[in-house]
Amino acid sequence: MSKAAVSIIPLSQLLDGQEADTFALLAAKSEGTTQGGKPFWRVTFRDAGRQVSFPIWQDSAHFDACREHWQVGSCYKLRAIYAETKYGPQLDIRKIRAVTPEDQAAGFDVSSLVPRSKYDSERMFGELLQVARAEVKDAPLSALTVELLTTHKQTLLTLAAARRNHHAFAGGLLEHVLSVVRNAIFLADKYGRDYPEMQPPLARDLVVAGAILHDIGKVQEMAMTASGAEYTAEGELIGHVLLGRDLVREAATRHVVDRETLLRLEHIIVSHQRLPEWGAPKPPMTPEALLVHFADDIDAKFQTALAALAEEGGGEFTAGRNPLGYKIFRGLKQPT
Amino acid sequence: MSKAAVSIIPLSQLLDGQEADTFALLAAKSEGTTQGGKPFWRVTFRDAGRQVSFPIWQDSAHFDACREHWQVGSCYKLRAIYAETKYGPQLDIRKIRAVTPEDQAAGFDVSSLVPRSKYDSERMFGELLQVARAEVKDAPLSALTVELLTTHKQTLLTLAAARRNHHAFAGGLLEHVLSVVRNAIFLADKYGRDYPEMQPPLARDLVVAGAILHDIGKVQEMAMTASGAEYTAEGELIGHVLLGRDLVREAATRHVVDRETLLRLEHIIVSHQRLPEWGAPKPPMTPEALLVHFADDIDAKFQTALAALAEEGGGEFTAGRNPLGYKIFRGLKQPT
Amino acid sequence: MSKAAVSIIPLSQLLDGQEADTFALLAAKSEGTTQGGKPFWRVTFRDAGRQVSFPIWQDSAHFDACREHWQVGSCYKLRAIYAETKYGPQLDIRKIRAVTPEDQAAGFDVSSLVPRSKYDSERMFGELLQVARAEVKDAPLSALTVELLTTHKQTLLTLAAARRNHHAFAGGLLEHVLSVVRNAIFLADKYGRDYPEMQPPLARDLVVAGAILHDIGKVQEMAMTASGAEYTAEGELIGHVLLGRDLVREAATRHVVDRETLLRLEHIIVSHQRLPEWGAPKPPMTPEALLVHFADDIDAKFQTALAALAEEGGGEFTAGRNPLGYKIFRGLKQPT
Amino acid sequence: MSKAAVSIIPLSQLLDGQEADTFALLAAKSEGTTQGGKPFWRVTFRDAGRQVSFPIWQDSAHFDACREHWQVGSCYKLRAIYAETKYGPQLDIRKIRAVTPEDQAAGFDVSSLVPRSKYDSERMFGELLQVARAEVKDAPLSALTVELLTTHKQTLLTLAAARRNHHAFAGGLLEHVLSVVRNAIFLADKYGRDYPEMQPPLARDLVVAGAILHDIGKVQEMAMTASGAEYTAEGELIGHVLLGRDLVREAATRHVVDRETLLRLEHIIVSHQRLPEWGAPKPPMTPEALLVHFADDIDAKFQTALAALAEEGGGEFTAGRNPLGYKIFRGLKQPT
Amino acid sequence: MSKAAVSIIPLSQLLDGQEADTFALLAAKSEGTTQGGKPFWRVTFRDAGRQVSFPIWQDSAHFDACREHWQVGSCYKLRAIYAETKYGPQLDIRKIRAVTPEDQAAGFDVSSLVPRSKYDSERMFGELLQVARAEVKDAPLSALTVELLTTHKQTLLTLAAARRNHHAFAGGLLEHVLSVVRNAIFLADKYGRDYPEMQPPLARDLVVAGAILHDIGKVQEMAMTASGAEYTAEGELIGHVLLGRDLVREAATRHVVDRETLLRLEHIIVSHQRLPEWGAPKPPMTPEALLVHFADDIDAKFQTALAALAEEGGGEFTAGRNPLGYKIFRGLKQPT
Amino acid sequence: MSKAAVSIIPLSQLLDGQEADTFALLAAKSEGTTQGGKPFWRVTFRDAGRQVSFPIWQDSAHFDACREHWQVGSCYKLRAIYAETKYGPQLDIRKIRAVTPEDQAAGFDVSSLVPRSKYDSERMFGELLQVARAEVKDAPLSALTVELLTTHKQTLLTLAAARRNHHAFAGGLLEHVLSVVRNAIFLADKYGRDYPEMQPPLARDLVVAGAILHDIGKVQEMAMTASGAEYTAEGELIGHVLLGRDLVREAATRHVVDRETLLRLEHIIVSHQRLPEWGAPKPPMTPEALLVHFADDIDAKFQTALAALAEEGGGEFTAGRNPLGYKIFRGLKQPT
């Protein structure tokens, strides 16, 4: 097979038996030993849509390179034959090298190798910014919100919403926050309309800004790595609820936000997980905090259920091992 | 003061010191005795917007009539002087008689005497019916939903959503359900749009019908009385979650609803309170059930918070004795 | 060895090293691969009293037949040598074929191949029916109970009481229900006698009928398979408590049961698991419901403890991994 | 009215308006003051079946005697007019004096003045003793049980089973224990018969002795007073579970009970409340302990429900303020 | 009695029947009405050691002044006769006027009128400052701690540790913190000595500084009023745990505290209540945080128990209504 | 290599590749089988500081001896080559024999082969005894405490404080108790000094004796084996809380301890785990019991945290799988 004949095909699009060049991220590498006492390496290559785990035996031409040079988190160009076997998908590697800057011309894009939001991060960020500018009418509050988004833009573009619970993929935090904001705007508009007699009136600005910022502390709680979001020491010891309020308070030193408005905004962040055992130091004691809590909770739980449903499996129900703690119904096997 | 000079004024609009004719419901009557050993009656008259409790002493001209004839739950026409005293509002009754059919010509309307939704029940019912007809595309499911609403229309027009927890006033159930339905339609549209890849696709019909019917069992769980919603024996022993599913299943014998659709609809009702300790025999195991749960929960909790805020009191926080179990923030006393 | 020399012996009676013909159910089959990369199948054959798991290697004469034809849940006639090894009991299969109708003449009985109640299902069912007829004096209530038993007789004859918790074997539900009924009759007689002043008097009929029907919903919650009871979709999404009440209500449309009697019977079913977190939508709010709850709970817990004790193991205590959640005491190693 | 005309009638049998001599226990006495600043005493007299609370005004002829001499817990002979008023039952005392030894000839019996078991304590004790002798076959175990009963006979004859939870009346502990024993014998016989394969076999002796002795520590945990059972310091600080085991262990020093038998008996006492939050240091880890727990729990819960039902009140349900924590159903108001 | 004969005596030292001049704080005032319909005021005067509540009747010479002028929270000089009656202690006021600046010369000291720590606040503050200076060896950490103490000195001198839970009196926070610090120093010294192999070594500085600052947020969570500590809006909505960490972080901008040291100090504050349901957003994840938690918890619980014991009452046990939730043992009535 | 050249070196001091004679305890032995079907044994040898697990293959010269003769819990003298491999540390056994009495001359000491307290048991015991003698001033209480220590001295010298939770090594109980006693003395002295007004005064004697004896029941709850502390049947069925109180009560029959003192001492033992779900039948209802609880709890939790920190691992946090249930912070990877 001549070199020209081998095209570059995404790993997740390779067909059973197909040989091709492909870019892949080395997501895991661990040493093992056969019952006969011989060492081998188990490696996992992946792109955003597929993950392939297989052994590199001692007699493989790649054994030494694997042990010495292959690095978890690095990207590689492989020529390999893809096969779907009863041990799952496998790669028979013919050639392998680390990617080079030149590979970008050939289409290499590291962001295509990790699971990530189906939405474009820049566009999501843009919409969020637009909401912060247009929908938060209180000028200092809007400016504070815009500043926080802008300051943490680079982190927000890639961060997941959690290591495992929900939206656990690159861009997941942004996708989640945007969705929460949309929920929150709907709720603020609806309930503001339904209860015009409220005293004080429902503070739509606070609902919107609170929704945008409720998880902002996650930019310090976690950091993205090749294997997903990992918690920082600050994240473990302090947590995103407190870290997020810090960011808001720090930003507030540069914007003349009304004292009560700031207090209510901080309270939204502090209480957005509602119960102590769910992580909230205080319960939602304002109408606005209640709305943000629900706008958030429904989005997290719904995505968790869908992620469970999206996992492979043929039964009428998913497994019960998901963050919701119970099975999700796929549908009757023999529908009527 | 000549008779002509006394106009008929709603109880809740009487001013301190004003004498007027007014219609009122006798909401409570109980016997007491003074320290000196003399009997008296404590009576409560009310209309939808005000409640007045005061004693009828033994030497009152009305004492015997009160003991013998006045009936809790009956409506009366009173001529009285209204006074706001340190013991709360009081009525000095000059004349009193039970209302007669002729009073309707003079403006008597019993529904104006009990606390009730600020929205018109007929209009709310009409909108709900319209949603059941237009927004539930599956014809048998729509017909089933319409039938259940129609069958229980009279009850729905007046029932509260609960004795105490939330929307505890006449028409409260209808107001709550309509609000839940609007939440549910928003959520179904949004998440259906956001997750087009769902398999099976999000069943908007089920979300809408489930929202309309999630509390339908309350028409058997409670009954309205002059003193608010009271639980029936079926309500105490079986509960609205199971009673509501019964109504759906019974109606389904007259409509060719697909087996899986019916099962999913029943599950929405069964699981809409989410946790066992919150009253759900099963947790929400379908995406549709999750959406209905949240559409419901947010509406109940939000109204509960607002009801607490609407209670009189001058501090920065309400009392903690409300169904949420904690204080709600009114606002800073000295805002900046 | 001539054919005549090989007698048909139950799998559970084979001795170490013995060669014989035996009937067995293929309870499980899964593919594996050796470290050397060769495929093999792991199969589990069993009868009611023994279960044997062993590999079929690639070089076995049965390898292809195993892969292509052997079906989990089917019964086979095997000629094999039974051996007890340190890897547990093993079969060296010499000949194997699916059972044929003719095998019944030679003693084949599928019901002898699954773990099942030590009591005869027909006799248990007969006793239950007799109780429903003779001990429930209220004629319509008796008829309703008899009808439900009769309608579901075939399912009841084989169903387990649970997948794992208690009485997890064929006929287990019947064995459990009969035992609960006996407990309930004792309790109803005793407490009826002890508290003659009760108003209303203890309804013995309700206790008996309630005990018979408390778990009737399990006929729809689960279905027996070769590997034990499996939950249906209705079972997962609705649960046997509600399904059982449905069956009672549906049957009640054909029997003139007094309204309060029916309500109390439904309540017994609804409340028989006592606490929300144990699966009861309502707690037992009648004396009769209390008695049925306890008649049931003690039988389930006692059998669970005995099943744990019956598991092999040599220590003074069983393992703590049983549905009770703690160890059961076997006895002192060195009794005094 | 001549003296001869006034007969001695039990307080609980006096009719409205009737004047009679009666014996009564002064159950409570507390000082109050009228709004006008005048002191009065509120006293409660009772016999086993009725309790009457009323004021002694300052101008009463009994005022000084009441303040100076009447003692809570003492018994009095009263001549009084009994009246049922809207303030509840009242006594208009004409004459009053403390009872004297001579009154016994006239029918005075202090035990008739406190609420007590409807069963004769001596007969209950006798039956319990008989069970301990005849039904516990193991001679030392039987002797130990008999000894403990005999030693604490006087206390057992009058003690309640609890201050409030269940069987809260004189003789209540004996009534409860006897009932538990009967439950336990039934369960031991039934389950011993149903599971002959148990290893070790079900120890019927232990179930019976355990049932008799499970609450024996209450003889030290509480003491009877005129106002019911009161906890001792040992009862509060150590509790009847541990105190009961002490009694058993102490008695075991005089009887050659097999070590394992004693250990299992102690465990029954230690675990009979099943869960830590219900008061059990260890859960029931033997079949015998499970049986005793249930034999006990059902008796306590059933009596609690009946006591709630026996309280006066006209609705379809009792109040929810009873040790079960929820309402008990009395019956439909308008039965069909 | 001539004016000269009336000396100034503290309210808490007045004897039954004594007439004297005394200074007192008006702690409460509320309007009531007699059964006869006449208004009266109920007032409470107190000093640090005694509290006296009594009515001012309509016919009192002070009635109008009371209604119009007396203010809760103000201090008064009274000439009155003190009496211990069955309605509790009473004052018969002869003369009353608000205190004037000149009264200080006569011994008036407002701080003597509220319940407060038995220790001198200035001395406690001084000791705390000394510990911050001498026992925290890390210079920036010491300086940060000193600064926070100094900044909030005035508040610390008077604040209680809680409204009700423990040390609920003026100076209570300071008394509690100082005691916690002493516990913490002991624990840090002991465990540092016992585990010299710890890696990293136990950070004694952090334990000491953490103990000093663990409750520093209470200076913003509560404010002292005449009726005790009251929560601020920030206190309710954010809470002292977060507010305290804010103060530390804000101070840290002025001191070059090592990043890890600051993180560990913040974590001590965040986790010092240990469990989410006890108010800790994170559990104590460092050895230092564990020590501070226990140093704090034991002091709070011990003082709570002693406060319960110090309440009047004659039984062997206190009431169970205290923040511990159970009775405390006073001692046997008849000790052996 | 001549015999003389091989010195005896502790297993835990062997270097990679070093050949030596060493003494070791056989801590575990289990049979396995290779994928190829060949049997092997997996054995674990250890001394106090190191544990080595490795296979004995079928072709090993030691295979038969291992199967037939090597006994778990026995000590052996090995000549072996120690190697650190990727499968963990390994031993290549050249010679092996059971230790003989003569080996003691060569330095064999079985106590050096199990993990144990870093403190000398005899010295710890001596200090504890000294405290019991000198610090408990009440003579009978002191004598009782001394007697219990002395009676159980041999067990105390080696017992762990728990199988897993804390101080899970030989001598661990003694180390823990001594530390608790020191905490308790500090607390008793401090709080006795701080609250001189306590009535009754803080009973320092009880705090000290209670601390010494709080866990004394563990001498019957557990027994040391070669693989650590194992629970006895009494331990499982009754538990150390009750067993410890037994020991105290039994000893009290020989010492004239005041009744209230004994009751308070028993209560300290009964309540020292504070909450029912933590194992306390009663909560600490005396000041002394509160102090002992905290003196105990802090020591257990602190050692648990340190044990987690001492486990190998390179991250910023330990794993969360320790008895505290959460991660412990090791320190920042890149400290500032």
**Which pairs count as long-range contacts for D186-195, CB under 8 Å and 24+ apart, including other chains?**
D186/C186, D186/C190, D187/C183, D187/C298, D187/D291, D187/D294, D187/D295, D188/D288, D188/D291, D190/C179, D190/C182, D190/C183, D190/C186, D191/C302, D191/D287, D191/D291, D194/C179, D195/C306
Element (H, E) at E271: helix E259-271
Higher pLDDT, A61 or D86: A61
Best E290, E297, E334 residue to mutate vs chain F (most F CBs within 10 Å)? E290
pLDDT of residue E116: 86
Cis peptide before D200 (omega within 30 of 0): yes
pLDDT tens-digit map of F203-229: 999 999 999 999 999 999 999 876 678
Sheet strands side by side (includes F19-33): F50-56, F39-47, F19-33, F75-85, F88-98
Query: Rounded mean pLDDT of chain F?
Result: 91
pLDDT of residue A74: 87
Q: Which amino acid is at D218?
A: K
Higher pLDDT, E321 or D32: E321
Higher pLDDT, F141 or F199: F141
Q: List residues of E whose CB lies inside 8 A of any A CB.
A: 233-234, 236-239, 241-242, 245-246, 249, 263-264, 266-267, 270, 276-277, 279, 281-282, 285-286
pLDDT of residue F1: 39
β-bridge mates for residue B53, sequence order: B44
pLDDT band at A37; cut points 50, 70, 90 = low
pLDDT tens-digit map of A274-314: 999 999 999 999 999 999 999 999 999 999 999 999 886 66
Instruction: Give the separation between CA C312 and CA A41, rounded to whole angstroms.
Output: 39
Report helix, strand and coil shares of chain B as percent, to nearest 5.
45, 20, 35
pLDDT of residue C71: 87
- Residue among B33, B39, B233 minimizing CB distance to D332: B233
pLDDT tens-digit map of F226-278: 667 889 999 999 999 999 999 999 999 999 999 999 999 999 999 999 999 99
If you average pLDDT over residues F142-146, what whole number do you get?
Answer: 98
Instruction: Give the separation between CA F17 and CA E251, rounded to whole angstroms.
Output: 56
CB-count burial class (<10 Å; 0-12, 13-18, 19+) for C281: buried
Query: Rounded mean pLDDT of chain B?
Result: 91
What residues of chain B lie within 8 A of the CB of C246, using their CB? 249
If you average pLDDT over residues A252-275, what whole number do you get?
Answer: 96
**How near does any CA of chain F get to the CA of D210, in Å?**
15
Three-state DSSP state, B296: helix
Name the residue of chain C whose CA is nearest to F40's CA: C86
pLDDT tens-digit map of F86-108: 677 889 999 999 998 888 888 88
pLDDT tens-digit map of A161-186: 998 888 989 999 999 999 999 999 99
Element (H, E) at D316: none
Name the residue of chain B whose CA is nearest to E37's CA: B87
Structure tokens at A6: 């081998």
- Residue among A34, A329, A332 minimizing CB distance to C35: A34
Element (H, E) at B228: strand B228-231
Three-state DSSP state, E46: strand
Q: Is the pLDDT of residue D171 over 90?
A: yes
Q: Is the pLDDT of residue E150 over 70?
A: yes
Query: For residues C141 and C265, is the Cβ–Cβ distance under 8 A?
Result: yes
Within chain D, where are the H helices? 63-68, 121-134, 139-151, 153-158, 172-194, 204-213, 218-221, 233-237, 240-252, 259-271, 287-310
Query: For residues D55 and D41, is the Cβ–Cβ distance under 8 A?
Result: yes
Structure tokens at B249: 């299943």
pLDDT of residue F114: 82
Three-state DSSP state, C30: strand
Higher pLDDT, C51 or B160: B160
If you average pLDDT over residues D204-227, what whole number do you get?
Answer: 94
Instruction: Give the separation between CA D279 and CA D272, rounded to whole angstroms.
Output: 9
Residues 6+ apart with CB under 8 A from A219: A152, A155, A156, A159, A247
ipTM more than 0.90? no
Instruction: Look at residues C206, C204, C177, C205 and name the one whose alpha carbon lies nearest to residue C190.
Output: C204
The residue count for chain B: 336
Q: Which amino acid is at B264?
A: R
Query: For residues A93 and A80, is the Cβ–Cβ distance under 8 A?
Result: yes
pLDDT of residue B6: 62
pLDDT tens-digit map of D79-89: 999 998 767 78
**How near does any CA of chain C get to the CA of D295, in Å?**
9
**How near does any CA of chain B get to the CA of A336, in Å?**
6
Angle at C256 between CA C250 and CA C261, to 5 degrees: 80
Query: For residues E217 and E249, is the Cβ–Cβ distance under 8 A?
Result: no
Q: List residues of A whose CB lies inside 8 A of any C CB.
A: 34-36, 86-87, 316-317, 327, 329, 332
What residues of chain A lie within 8 A of the CB of E239, using their CB? 270, 281-282
C-alpha E235: how far from chain center: 16
What residues of chain B lie within 8 A of the CB of E237, using their CB? 329
Q: Is the pLDDT of residue B3 over 60?
A: no
pLDDT band at B74; cut points 50, 70, 90 = confident
Higher pLDDT, C4 or C262: C262
Query: For residues D256 and F285, is the Cβ–Cβ distance under 8 A?
Result: no
Query: For residues A16 and A91, is the Cβ–Cβ distance under 8 A?
Result: no
Q: A305 and B287: CB-CB below 8 Å?
A: yes
Instruction: Give the separation between CA D199 and CA C311, rounded to whole angstroms.
Output: 11
Instruction: Look at residues B215, B188, B137, B142 and name the one whose alpha carbon lies nearest to residue B291.
Output: B188
Task: Give backbone dihedrals phi and psi of A250, rounded to 5 degrees, phi first.
Answer: -65, -45
Q: Is the pLDDT of residue D336 over 50?
A: no
Element (H, E) at D56: strand D50-56
Higher pLDDT, B48 or B260: B260
Instruction: Give the separation between CA E95 and CA E106, rounded to whole angstroms.
Output: 17
Q: Which of A316-330, B46-60, B112-126, E176-190 has the lowest mean pLDDT?
A: B46-60
If you average pLDDT over residues E71-92, what whole number do you get?
Answer: 87
Q: Which residue in this structure is represented by tokens 């010092």?
A: E272
Higher pLDDT, C334 or B114: B114
Q: Is the pLDDT of residue E2 over 60?
A: no
Share above pLDDT 70 across residues of chain F, in percent, rounded to a whole number: 94
Q: A302 and B290: CB-CB below 8 Å?
A: yes
* Cα separation values, D135 from B15, D149, D179, D194, D217, Å: 81, 15, 15, 19, 22
Name the residue of chain E whose CA is nearest to D33's CA: E87
Cis peptide before B323 (omega within 30 of 0): no
- Residue among E195, E264, E302 minimizing CB distance to F290: E302
Residue E329 has what DSSP assignment?
Answer: B
Share above pLDDT 90 across residues of chain A, in percent, rounded to a whole number: 67
pLDDT tens-digit map of B179-224: 999 999 999 999 999 999 998 999 999 999 999 999 999 999 999 8
Instruction: Give the separation between CA C108 and CA C75, rounded to whole angstroms.
Output: 9
If you average pLDDT over residues E222-235, what whole number do you get?
Answer: 87
Within chain B, where are the H helices? 63-68, 121-134, 139-151, 153-158, 172-194, 204-213, 218-221, 233-237, 240-252, 259-271, 287-310
Instruction: Look at residues B256, B226, B267 and name the one whose alpha carbon lies nearest to residue B48.
Output: B226
Q: Is the pLDDT of residue D304 over 50?
A: yes
Best D206, D245, D278, D282 residue to mutate vs chain F (most F CBs within 10 Å)? D282
pLDDT of residue C227: 67
Three-state DSSP state, D6: coil
pLDDT tens-digit map of D51-79: 898 989 888 899 989 988 898 888 999 99
Task: Give backbone dihedrals phi and psi of D117, rounded to 5 degrees, phi first.
Answer: -55, 145
Count of Cβ atoms closer than 10 Å to residue A60 Cβ: 15
Residue A14 has what DSSP assignment?
Answer: P
Q: D298 and C328: CB-CB below 8 Å?
A: no
Structure tokens at B155: 């009850």
Q: Is the pLDDT of residue D3 over 60?
A: no
pLDDT of residue B7: 80
Instruction: Give the separation between CA B223 and CA B156, rounded to whole angstroms.
Output: 10
> How many C-alpha atoms does E196 have within 13 Å on its Cβ side?
3
Q: Which of C69-83, D144-158, F25-39 has the lowest mean pLDDT?
A: F25-39
pLDDT of residue E334: 66
| End-to-end CA gap in chain C | 53
Instruction: Give the separation between CA A246 and CA A234, rounded to whole angstroms.
Output: 12
pLDDT tens-digit map of E114-139: 888 999 999 999 999 999 999 999 99
Instruction: Give the separation between CA A308 and CA A300, rounded to whole angstroms.
Output: 12
Report helix, strand and coil shares of chain D as percent, to nearest 5.
45, 20, 35
Instruction: Give the separation between CA B270 and CA A102, rounded to whole angstroms.
Output: 59
Q: Do chains A and C touch (3 or more CB pairs under 8 A)?
A: yes
Instruction: Look at residues B193, B182, B204, B295 and name the one whose alpha carbon lies nearest to residue A295.
Output: B295
Q: Is the pLDDT of residue E192 over 80?
A: yes
pLDDT tens-digit map of E10-46: 998 999 899 999 999 998 888 876 655 677 888 999 8
Q: Which amino acid is at E134?
A: A
- Residue among C246, C277, C281 minimizing CB distance to B239: C281
pTM: 0.88
Query: Rounded mean pLDDT of chain E?
Result: 91
Given CA atoms D98, D101, D107, D113 in this order, what sign does their dihedral have?
Answer: positive
pLDDT of residue F284: 98
What residues of chain F lie within 8 A of the CB of D282, using their CB? 236-239
**How near does any CA of chain C get to the CA of B205, in Å?**
19
If you average pLDDT over residues B59-77, what whole number do you get?
Answer: 89
Q: F281 and D246: CB-CB below 8 Å?
A: no
pLDDT of residue F5: 52
- Residue among A34, A35, A332 minimizing CB distance to C233: A332
Instruction: Look at residues C314, C333, C311, C332 and name the one whose alpha carbon lies nearest to residue C322.
Output: C311
Instruction: Look at residues C152, C258, C278, C138 and name the one whose alpha carbon lies nearest to residue C213.
Output: C152
pLDDT tens-digit map of B93-143: 999 999 988 888 888 887 788 888 999 999 999 999 999 999 999 999 999
C-alpha B157: how far from chain center: 10
Q: Is the pLDDT of residue C335 over 60?
A: no
Q: Is the pLDDT of residue C272 over 60?
A: yes
pLDDT band at E233; cut points 50, 70, 90 = very high
Q: Do chains B and C touch (3 or more CB pairs under 8 A)?
A: yes
Instruction: Look at residues F85, F84, F98 and name the one whose alpha carbon lies nearest to residue F23.
Output: F98
